[in-house]
Chain A
Amino acid sequence: MTRHLKVDAPIPDSPLDHMAQGVLGKPVSRLEGPLKVTGRATYAAEARPEGLLYGVLVQAAIPAGKVLSIGDAPGAMVVIHDPRLIRYAAQGMATEGPTAGPDEVEYMGQAIAVVVAEALEAAQAAAQALQVTYEAKDVPVDPEAVEPERPEDKQSATGDLDRAMQDASHTLDQIWHTPSHTAAAMEPHAATAEWSGDTLTVRAGYQMLATSREQLADAVGIKPDQVRLLAPYVGGGFGSKLGINADSVAAAIAAQQLGRPVQVVMTRQQVFDLAHRRSETRQRIRLACDTQGKLTGIGHEALVSNLPGVSFSEPVTQATPFTYQAAHRQIVHAIARVHRSCAGSVRAPGEAVGATVFECAMDELAETAGIDPVELRLRNIPDTEPCTGRPFSSHKLAEALREGAARFNWSDRRPTGQRREGDWYIGMGVASAVRVNSLIESRARVTLQADGRAIVETDMTDIGTGSYTILGQIAAETLGLAVDRVEVRLGDSDFPPASGSGGSFGAASSGTSVYLACAEIRSQIAALIGCDEADLTLQNGQVRTGNVSRPLDALLTGELTGDGHLEPGKTEDTVRQATWGSHWAEIAVNRWTGEVRVRRMLGVFACGRVLNEKTARSQCLGGMTFGLGMALTEAMAHDPRDGHIVTRDLAEYHIPCHADVPPLEVHFLTESDTYVGPLHAKGLGELGICGAGAAILNAIHNACGVRVRELPATPDKIIAGLQS
């Protein structure tokens, strides 16, 4: 039986608050952890079917044009150059394969062929030696040198911002640039494909199986039910594995043509070229406020880029319309069509760069207006969503700011440039954290076996997010079992389709479907013992109602099965759903070298119910560290002549390393959001990055008076600022 829930109304009284097991929210260690710390968890490239062949992708060496000829590959079995090879990765949640046809080159590095050999070394050497001829054409690669598109539905204005700017006591009007970023998940994209008759099994790194399956079927030219995807362990995603990529399609086609299993693993350099990049942005922010720091005008203009014809454009201004109050507002969104690699979702598309820059602007305005930056934010928090008047499902920004200020000893912060320790200027910075929240349709099946053990099955993935563990905790809580009595099986498209991992919606969406499946089983247990579901208490394998208590396994005569099906409903529209928080950083700037050392960071977050304190904290640490990278080190450089990515390995694109990251503190506010289903939980995989970099950039200014508006704040820019 399926228990279905469409979230059309708030659920103030969650049944989960009345369960007896007491395991939900607890800092349970990851259920799959022992496999991961001993190297026994097997990732995408770690299947070794009999007769495995190795495929290596060949990339285009021109920015745009046509492939005229592809030579032979001595030492390899075959060069496959099939019209079904895709030009770029699918966007998350797309239900069709992306544009195919490798002969038409759209950007430097596009996959144009795959070389297959018995040995990996032979395939690599042959791919490298392959002769390809092209007819290149001239294309634009600089987003600021073309006339951008301005889609009408992405522009908005209320009141008269220009007028508000003229009339204001204090204003700010500045331009920021953020470079392209990459997810750089530690596991490179890889796929192992195998055919059995006309069905295809692909083991790969995917975040969302259900839609990736449709994309792959479409790309290869078969039906979705002929495709099975496996992704039991995924070595990080951060958006880069939301949709299928060239590895999956090339492996599937090669395995089909050769009648043997084929594995295609991208090199790290290929991951840089072929995984979606986060678009670079140019952002102009205008702010106007009165003498008290009350905002009267907010303007946010964004220029982003993508390939011609690709619908995704970085939603830079996503949170701007509802974060702060102001009567006069304007949003401008422009998209430059250029031939850089394909842009798509990278951890927290929109707010990661949009809120970060906006929070830098708020810091500048605070200084201009002579108001403490925390206070400026507190004075501009809206009661209802500006422009629409919708209520917020829950709003914790003010509490996050106040709590953070106390915990971080914000009152110790000195005016700009006044704190020095030897050769180091010391400064503190703050930023608000905000991220939109959503639910995505999700299904799960739970089987309670006659021996009182439960099995959870859903095609949800665990990309490091903790899905195995929290889904096990939800089932254990609802069924009254110890966590080790629950087995969680994920990452197999034969299981009921879940939301997948992306957009911070995974835990709440798939978690609710698991809860619903367990609730269905509870009602079956209630029927067995002869009581209402509401009068049932399940704890440690005991079933209780009134003064009757029986062991669960004695009550069961066979297995019980429950299916859960969650759909988002009216609360998507009736309220503004978001997660909130605050970021705090203390940094040191070396007066001679311009080096920035982060000394401590604090993140205060409200994300509804915390499902597992330990894994939730880790998600936030990860997000905050992404923010640190964005502020200080991460930049994809594009060659101005042909757009190719110059910093395309981990020695050139600097993600934070151990020595860059100080001890970080995370604090969760108690919150229970009733508009997001019975779990009362919202997403938090992305909130940690939204604004974190701004706290660091603002701290740099507080330390030494330098504003860096061209991210990242590398020493050259700081030194230039210190000198002027």
Chain B
Amino acid sequence: MQISLSVNGTSHELTLDPRTTLLDALRQHLGLTGTKKGCDHGQCGACTVLLDGRRVSACLTLACMVQDQPVTTIEGLGTPEALSPLQQQFLDHDGFQCGYCTPGQICSATAMLKEIAAGWPSHASADLTGPIALTHAEIAERMSGNLCRCAAYANIVDAIRQAAGAQGDAA
């Protein structure tokens, strides 16, 4: 079927099998392989992209479902020459090893910080309505959909807190 996708500000017209996921459309048809496939079942977070600014699992999203919504992938957040603040902090803090979960972590963190800024509480928040402190526990809770077998977790949380300008608190 004919599908039009808007990815990183560019529109694409594609002829796709209707069963094609957003993840496979990005990777196999648009050559945007920065978005990774770790499980194809919504269990690992490697495929996280931003749909209208909100994080979603691209493997659980059919390409034909998102024709009207702008998609942002890791390629749209920064380039090797011009890293986004989060990308720079991941690099500085060694927030990755093999790098396979990394695009998903960074896309997820980008949207997650906006969720905090918008006042959405989490299981780890001390208060459901008050301001949310960027503690280790708060960030770890919100990032738990993004698995990292290399286990760069401690560094990822540090990178996110630094990028978000969090101060103090180790726990």
What class of interface size applies to chain A in its complex with B?
35 or more
Chain A residues with CB under 8 A of B140 = 658-659, 661
**B contacts with A: majority SS:** loop
Assess the A464–B150 pair: CB atoms within 8 A.
Answer: yes
Interface 9-residue window, one of A29-37, A242-250, A348-356: A29-37
Q: Is B101 an interface residue (CB 8 A)?
A: yes
Give the interface SS of chain A, mostly helix, strand, loop or mixed.
loop
Give the distance in Å from the alpha carbon of A466 to the alpha carbon of B97 in the complex: 7
Q: Tell me if B91 and A30 are in contact (CB < 8 A).
A: yes
A186 touches B136 (CB 8 A): no
Binary contact track A33-61/B, C-beta < 8 Å → 1, others 0: 11111111111011010000000000000
A622 to B127, CA, bound (A): 32
Q: How far is the CB of A465 from chain B (nearest CB, A)?
A: 7
Residues of chain B contacted by A622 (CB below 8 angstroms): 97, 150-152
Chain A residues with CB under 8 A of B43: 268, 649-651
Minimum CB–CB distance from A550 to chain B (whole Å) comes to: 33
Q: Contact between A186 and B150 (Cβ–Cβ < 8 Å)?
A: yes
Residues of B close to A548: CB separation below 8 A? none
A45–B31 Cα distance when bound, in Å, is 11
Taking a contact as CB atoms under 8 Å apart, the answer to whether B149 and A37 are in contact is: no
Q: Would you call A584 an interface residue if the criterion is a C-beta within 8 Å of the partner chain's C-beta atoms?
A: no
Contact with A along B21-48 (1 / 0, CB 8 A): 0001001100111111111110110100
Q: Which residues of A contact B46 (CB under 8 A)?
A: 186
Q: Is B52 among interface residues, defined by CB-CB distance under 8 A? A: no
Docked pose: A624 CA to B144 CA in angstroms? 18
Which residues of the partner chain A approach B24 to less than 8 Å between Cβ atoms? 120-121
Query: Which of A38, A119, A186 is within 8 Å of B147, CB to CB?
Result: A186
**Measured between C-beta atoms, what is the minimum distance from B155 to chain A in Å?**
6
- Cα(A614)–Cα(B155), bound, Å: 10
B156 interfacial by beta-carbon distance below 8 Å: yes
Q: What's the interface size class on B, roughly? A: 35 or more
Q: Mark B131-158, 1 if CB is under 8 A from A, else 0.
A: 0000011011101111111111111110
Beta-carbon contact of B94 and A618 below 8 Å: yes
Q: Say which residue of A36, A48, A614 sits within 8 Å of B99 (CB atoms).
A: A36
- Segment 355-388 of A: residues with Cβ below 8 Å from B: none
Indicate with 1 or 0, residue by residue over B50-91, a CB within 8 angstroms of chain A CB atoms: 000000000000000000000001110111110100010011
Instruction: Let me know if B94 and A37 touch, CB within 8 A.
Output: no
Q: Is A156 an interface residue (CB 8 A)?
A: no
CB distance from B101 to the nearest CB of A (A): 5
Cβ of A621 and Cβ of B96 under 8 Å apart? Answer: no
Please, how many angstroms separate the alpha-carbon atoms of A274 and B101 in the complex?
Answer: 21
Selected from B28, B101, B124, B141, the residue in CB contact (under 8 A) with A120 is: B28
A230-238, A451-459, A488-496, A557-565 - interface stretch: A230-238
Closest B residue to A36 by beta carbon equals B99
- Asked if A617 is at the interface of the complex by the 8 Å CB criterion, the answer is yes
Is A529 part of the contact surface with B, judged by Cβ < 8 Å? no
Using known A-B contacts A187-B36, A622-B97, determine if residue A651 contacts B41 with beta carbons closer than 8 Å: yes
Question: In the bound complex, how far is the Cα of B80 from the Cα of A437, in angstroms?
Answer: 37
C-alpha spacing A236/B94, complex, angstroms: 15
Q: Is the CB of B87 within 8 A of A38?
A: yes
Contact with B along A685-724 (1 / 0, CB 8 A): 0000000000000000000000000000000000000000
Q: Write out the residue numbers on chain A whose beta carbons fall within 8 Å of the beta carbon of B171.
A: 662-663
In contact, A621 and B155 (Cβ under 8 angstroms): yes
CA distance A650 to B146 in the complex (A): 11
CA distance A39 to B30 in the complex (A): 14
A656 touches B92 (CB 8 A): no
Q: Does A625 contact B (CB under 8 A)?
A: yes
Pick the contact of A186 from B17, B33, B38, B141 — CB < 8 Å?
B38
Which chain A residues border B100 with CB–CB below 8 Å? 43, 185-187, 235-236
Which of B19, B33, B74, B77 contacts A42 (CB under 8 A)?
B33
B44 touches A186 (CB 8 A): yes
How many whole Å from B170's CB to the nearest CB in chain A? Answer: 6
B77 to chain A, nearest CB (A): 7
A267 within 8 A of B: yes
Contact A618 B150 (CB under 8 A): yes
Contact of B141 among A463, A617, A619, A659 (CB under 8 A): A659
The answer to whether B151 touches A656, judged by C-beta atoms less than 8 angstroms apart, is yes
Known A464-B150, A657-B147, A658-B143: A40·B34 in contact at CB below 8 Å: yes
Given contacts A120-B24, A621-B155, 17 further A-B contacts (CB under 8 A): A29-B91, A30-B91, A33-B90, A34-B83, A36-B102, A38-B75, A39-B34, A48-B28, A187-B36, A233-B99, A464-B99, A464-B150, A617-B94, A649-B39, A650-B147, A659-B141, A661-B151
6 A-B residue pairs with Cβ-Cβ distance under 8 Å, sorted by A, are A34-B81, A37-B78, A46-B27, A619-B97, A656-B153, A658-B144
A residues with a Cβ closer than 8 A to B are 29-30, 32-43, 45-46, 48, 119-122, 125, 183-188, 233-236, 238, 265, 267-268, 463-466, 614-615, 617-619, 621-622, 624-626, 649-651, 655-659, 661-664
* Smallest CB-CB A-B distances: 4 pairs: A39-B34, A235-B100, A464-B98, A36-B99
